[in-house]
Amino acid sequence: MSENQDSAAWSEKRGMRSVPHILKWTAIILVLVCALGLAVQMLWNWLMPKIFGLGRITIPQGIGLLVLTRLLFGRMGQRRDHAGYLTGKYGFRSLFGRGHGGEGMATATMQDQSTDQAKRE
């Protein structure tokens, strides 16, 4: 293997991205942000002036509203644990009693089985 191939293989292993890859994802994110800002602008301009008599807004103001609501309201109580599962107020593990207690699914399953055996006896 040449030195260039070694560095390319090392870059792939380490998760380093090429400039076109970074530019592509930056463009995708910008398009999504602008589309969401446009959606907020259209909804605001359709509803708010008629209902509350408020003025019309622009796309940058719509993006600003999105940022403001994220800062004020966050994820509304939803958090992800280290495995990517939703936890918190509405998470799967919280709904079924397996939150941040430190016990894994295997422990909970064993407890469920022992409870079932006790009910049968």
CA dihedral defined by 87, 88, 89, 91, rounded to 10 degrees?
0
19 and 35 inside one domain: yes
Q: pLDDT tens across 60-107, in order?
A: 999 999 999 988 887 655 666 666 665 655 555 555 555 555 454 455
Q: State residue 31's pLDDT score.
A: 96
103 and 51 inside one domain: no
Confidence of residue 32 (pLDDT cuts 50, 70, 90): very high
2 and 35 inside one domain: yes
By the 8 A CB rule, do 58 and 41 touch? yes
Domain limits for position 98: 77-121
Within 10 Å of residue 52's Cβ, how many Cβ atoms?
Answer: 7
103 and 44 inside one domain: no
66 and 85 inside one domain: no
4 and 53 inside one domain: yes
Count of domains observed in the chain = 2
The pTM of the full predicted model, rounded to 2 decimals, is: 0.53
Q: State residue 17's pLDDT score.
A: 73
